[in-house]
Amino acid sequence: MCNEILNEQNNSCFDKNATLVIKEEAIINNVKYIKEKTGAKIIAVVKENGYGLGVANLYHIIQDQGIFMYAVTAPCEAIALRKEGCKEDILMLTPISDFSELVTMVSLGVVIALGNENQIPELLDVYKLVGKKPRVHIQIDSGLGRYGFNADDMLDFSKIKDCISIEGCFSHLAGSTHNYKKSVENQVRVFNLALEKIRAAGVEPGICHIANSKAAMTFGALGYDAVRVGSAILGKVGDNSELEEAVWLESKVFSVYERLEGEHIGYSGEAYLKRDSSLAVVRIGTGCGVGLIQKSAMDFSFINILKNILKRINDDPVLNVWINGKKSPVIGRIGVSHMTVDVTENKVKEGDIVKIGVNPLLVHPYVERLVV
């Protein structure tokens, strides 16, 4: 009881002044578009609590859209889907080997990623205990270097097919910051080599899939049976204009004030005003997930250096937000709970709605989720 009271008090300290808006129609339209474009079975990735939307929210939006299979990375997500009434197959993308977790997953009919040899004794023990063949998709490492069997040193899966139901094979594309097409082609070649070796051992690989959201939107299913899409369902794959943005943060303008040309604004005075300006304060920041980015590999190529110089010359904004349907730039450094927006060209008032593009995975769990 004391712990419950303490948790309630702790949670009440998070007043986020924001709502994560989830547009149901956009998600449904995106699923339909992906099906038409790829002509493949859809494996809907709902990992990390439905990409931050809430696994139940995302599942109930797409449950009637002919999804072939759902994919997760944690047992709790698979359990949550079953509790929400999911009857379709669920694929555990992470190759788990914990015995108790395997027992639970096999009992629930969840398909396990078989990505290393150490899982096999545990799966065989589960088969003996539960009396039910564990269902697996063989995971191949085609270049990501994280999980999966190496195509050059393939296991003889024919020795386990009587006790383990092999129903599919897959890999995860590593992508590339340079020649994406060539990178995908190389990884597909490795994947095909692995499939050939599996077939040569007398085992049918079953449903094959390698294309993630970016690859599916660029190349389709790459000749395989299914595509695994998560960010594409949310409309967040590069500049693909056919996908609709389905999730964003909303807040309100807290105050509007005037500042003079030549003044410095924000932490360390990073923002320098080149004109008399109208500025709006929005009570939202990195504490909600705004302005957080994952660092990418350092690129010291001449072209990238030139791009960064041009950005500084052009004084590109940290971020753009939308107020009253018009884009306005954020200026200065984004704080934990506040940001400053230049609204000189956009007449706004206190209480106006602010729409902010964000990676929903980074949005604080105490921010309200609203399906519209």
- 69 with 44: CB under 8 angstroms? yes
| Range of the structural domain that residue 287 is part of | 247-356
Measured distance CA(126)–CA(206) in Å, rounded: 22
Dump pLDDT digits (tens) for 132-175. 999 999 999 998 888 999 988 889 999 999 999 999 999 999 87
Does 318 lie in the same domain as 180?
no
Q: Is residue 324 part of a domain?
A: yes
Phi/psi at 154 (nearest 5 deg)? -80, 135
Interval 33-49 mean pLDDT = 97
pLDDT value of position 214: 94
Torsion on CA atoms 136, 147, 75, 38, rounded to nearest 10: -70
pTM, two decimals, is: 0.87
Does 330 lie in the same domain as 263?
yes
Q: Is residue 9 part of a domain?
A: no
Domain boundary (177, 201, 229) is at 229
Show the tokens assigned to 199. 């077939």
Looking at the predicted structure, is the pLDDT value of residue 371 above 90?
Answer: yes
As separate numbers, helices (DSSP H) first and strands (DSSP E) second, the chain gives 10, 19
Dump pLDDT digits (tens) for 42-98. 999 999 999 999 999 999 999 999 999 999 999 999 999 999 999 999 999 999 999
Does 303 lie in the same domain as 207?
no
Interval 294-319 mean pLDDT = 54
